[in-house]
Every structure is written in C-alpha cells, then in structure tokens.
Amino acid sequence: MSIVTVQLGQCGNQIGFEVFDALLSDSHSSQGLCSMRENEAYQASCKERFFSEEENGVPIARAVLVDMEPKVINQTLSKAAQSGQWKYGQHACFCQKQGSGNNWAYGYSVHGPRHEESIMNIIRKEVEKCDSFSGFFIIMSMAGGTGSGLGAFVTQNLEDQYSNSLKMNQIIWPYGTGEVIVQNYNSILTLSHLYRSSDALLLHENDAIHKICAKLMNIKQISFSDINQVLAHQLGSVFQPTYSAESSFHYRRNPLGDLMEHLVPHPEFKMLSVRNIPHMSENSLAYTTFTWAGLLKHLRQMLISNAKMEEGIDRHVRPPLSGLPPLSKMSLNKDLHFNTSIANLVILRGKDVQSADVGKKFRAYIHQYTKFGIEEEDFLDSFTSLEQVVASYCNL
C-alpha cells in the first residue's frame, strides 16, 4: 500500500529528498545479500510504496513539496532529476515567493488558509494516483515558520478531509542552541496542534544526529546534508518492506498501519523515536562482525538508558516495571521501540519555563504572533495540553 509524503519547508524538502534517494538506492543496491527472486520482490514492494511508474520507466516519487520560497524546492527538484534514477512529479510542488520569517503564526493563520485549496488539490491528485492508499507521511521541522506553522495547518486539514487514513508526522527537533530565537514558541505551538490532528509523531533531534555524525561516523565538517543522510537512513530502515508472517516472499502490505497499531494505539502517547545501530560509515561495514542477538541486546540497553548512540551507555540502568510491553518490529537490521522515557519533552519544558519566566524580553516576541491572530490564550492552551502529555508520560 502506498504512502504519500508531504514535504514542508526547507527542512522537510531537504530531508524528503534524502529519504527517497536512500530508499531507491537501497533497493537497487548491488551488495547481493539475497537471491534474485527475493531481491525483485523487495524492490517491487519498496517501489510500489513510495514511487509510481511512468512510461519511460523512471519512477516518480509519491510526494508533494510545499514551501513558501522557491529556492529550496528548485534545488530539490533538480537534484532528483540529475540523479537519473528517479524524480519528482512535475506538478507535485507548490511554492510562493514570500517566505514565512520563522513565524509560526504567519505560517498557520496566513499562508495556511490562503493556499489551502491549492495545496489540498495537489495532495488529492497524488492520493488518487495510488491504487491502495495507506496514509500520509509528513516531514517538517518545528522551529521554522513554514514547516511548523503551515505544517500544523496542513495536518489539521488532512485530518478533516482524510479522517480515515493514517498520518505520521516526522518532526525535527531543533538544536538546543539554535539559530532561531523563537524556536521554543514555534515548537510548543506545533507540538500541541499536531498532537490533536496527527496519529503519530516521530521525533528526530538535530543534536543527537550531530553527535552520531561526529563521534561514530568520523565526519569532520558536519553539514546539514550529512545530518539529513543519517536521518534518511534511519527513516528508510523503518519504512522498507518487512517480512510478513507467511513466507519470505510476501512482504507486509501496510507499513504505516502496522507501526501505528503496535506503537501508538493509546491516544495520549503519540511520540515515537528511532534508535538504530550500528552507526558507521559505509567503508567500515565490511570489517565488522555482528550478531542479531548482540545487536538487539545493545539496542535494549540504549533504550533503557535513554542513549541515542552506542557510546556512553550506562549499563547499570534497569527498566522500570511498566504495564505496556514494548513491541518491536523486525526489519532488515534495525529496530523501533516504544519510547517510554520522553525526556526530550521534559527538557523542552524545562527550557521553556525558564525562558518564558526569565525573559520579559521574550514576551516582546509574542507581538509577532498576535499580529497574525495567535493570541496568548493559544499559547496557554498549548502549554496546558503539552503539560498533560508530559504528565501522562511521567505516570507511565
């Protein structure tokens, strides 16, 4: 079943490109680890999910690109076309000339309603192209204006129009010492709105991935494209076809449905994160020896001690007794676990409480939001709903 990807904002578009690239190059990889028939079944399954066929055989990504500035979208489109392996659909993008100025309210209250119809039209055309439609995968960042504000608006619209389909939002947690001053406000508003309209929120933190790049992959000058590639690798491994119970030639048909059914049935606990090992550059892969059981044990320890990387794991932390068992899905070589310790959110809360109290000067930024119709009550509402989320997680 097919997934339609909606790429929002600069961050969303760049990551989206890397994801499709990773998916396709993985399915065409020549490493020869399995028989040809298996390989073909794998390729077919992967392709059907994320790409549609065109006459001359070049797969077209099932994606909708949305941004308020034309620069990033043009870059993305041309990079895809240059690769020769795949490309984006011609009419699958929507951009304007303006930009959102990192203002959540601008994205949500101005851009959203104004361009609602055009954006939803493009999305509908993509959905109609699918023979069997499974759900939406929405990539956005939390800190910027377009990704976060417009993303929240679009997700809400999708919930209204396609209430039966599944939606997973992939959100990027900004750097702790980020460039955007009001990113905390943006993040709070985004999270609370998304919590209502989306089914699952998959978080990735720039900080964590940065560390992975630096320590484990030995990349000296870390650029956004490196970070995005690691991200795409993680995402790709989540979404690539997995075996179904019957036989090794049948892949499970509904990736989003499987993930969601096992991980986020409870309406209050929608946050997910990905842990994957091993982390290393492609070159060293040939020199390692891993066993499946060893990898699993490693992952479990990572999860329990809330580590994002292999190094520095506290081996003495034991899991608390919780009534909800973590369910894992066997994929090619990665695992996704239910994140019972959503310390990320607690960190944000700590930061925000500080910044909201300490900074009368931060209140100065609120006027930018009220200009576009987001009042203080909205902030308070968002705070309350997020506090509730944090409380429910703490009570686990």
Partner 1 sequence: MGRRRQRVDPAAGARAGALPEAIAALSRSLPSGPSPEIFRRAKFDRPEATSALWQLLFRVLSPLPAGNALASLALEVQARLVKSALCSQGYPRLALAQLPEDGSQGSRELLLALSWLLARGPVPEQMLAQARVPLGDEMTVCQCEALASPGPPAPHMEAEGPVDVRHVQWLMGKLRFRWRQLVSSQQEQCALLSKIHLYTRGCHSDQSLSHLSVTEAEMLRDPEGGQQLLRTLERENQRLEAVLAWRRSELVFWRWMDTVLGTCAPEVPAAASQPTFLPWVPERGGGELDLAVRELQALEEELQEAVERRRVAWEAKAGGCGRGPEWSAARRASREAVEKELGALQQCWERDGGPAQPHGPHRLVRREDGAAGDRDLRAAVVIRTLRSQEACLEAVLRRLQGQCRQELARLVGALPGLIWIPPPGR
DSSP helix/strand/coil, 195: helix
Cβ-based burial of 94 (10 A; exposed 0-12, middle 13-18, buried ≥19): middle
Binding of partner 1 at residue 394 (CB under 8 A)?
A: no
User: By CB under 8 A, how many residues form the interface with partner 1?
Assistant: 25
C-alpha distances out from residue 251 to 2, 27, 33, 39, 133, Å: 13, 14, 17, 12, 16
Residue 388 makes contact with partner 1 by CB under 8 A: yes
Which is nearest to 233 in space by CA: 201, 209, 264? 209
Q: Are 199 and 270 in contact (CB under 8 A)?
A: yes
Q: Which two tokens stand for residue 195?
A: 């919590």
**Does the footprint of partner 1 cover residue 56 (CB under 8 A)?**
no
Of 222, 190, 196, the closest CA to residue 207 belongs to 222
Candidates 195, 239, 338, 379: give the one binding partner 1 (CB under 8 A): 195
Contact range with partner 1 by CB under 8 A, out of 60-68, 90-98, 162-170, 206-214: 162-170
Task: Rule CB under 8 A: say whether 384 interacts with partner 1.
Answer: yes
133 in contact with partner 1 (CB under 8 A): yes
Instruction: Among 76, 134, 206, 237, indicate the residue that binds partner 1 (CB under 8 A).
Output: 134
Contact call for residue 1 and partner 1 (CB under 8 A) = yes
| Minimum distance of partner 1 from residue 261's CB (angstroms) | 4
328-337 burial, b if ≥16 CB within 10 A, otherwise e? bbebeebbbb
Residue 218 in contact with partner 1, rule: CB under 8 A = no
Nearer to partner 1, 74 or 322 (CB): 322
- 264: contact with partner 1 by CB under 8 A: yes
Strands, sheet with 60-61, edge to edge from the N-terminal-most edge strand: 51-52, 60-61, 87-88
Give 6 or 264: the residue with its C-beta nearer to partner 1: 264
At its nearest, how many Å lie between partner 1 and the CB of residue 165?
Answer: 6
Q: Are strands 200-205 and 166-173 parallel, antiparallel or unpaired?
A: parallel
Contacts to partner 1 from residues 290-349, by CB under 8 A: 323-324
What is the smallest separation between the CB atom of 344 and partner 1, expressed in angstroms?
Answer: 20
Q: Interface with partner 1 by CB under 8 A: which residues?
A: 1, 131-134, 164-166, 192, 195-196, 254, 257, 260-261, 264-268, 323-324, 384-385, 388
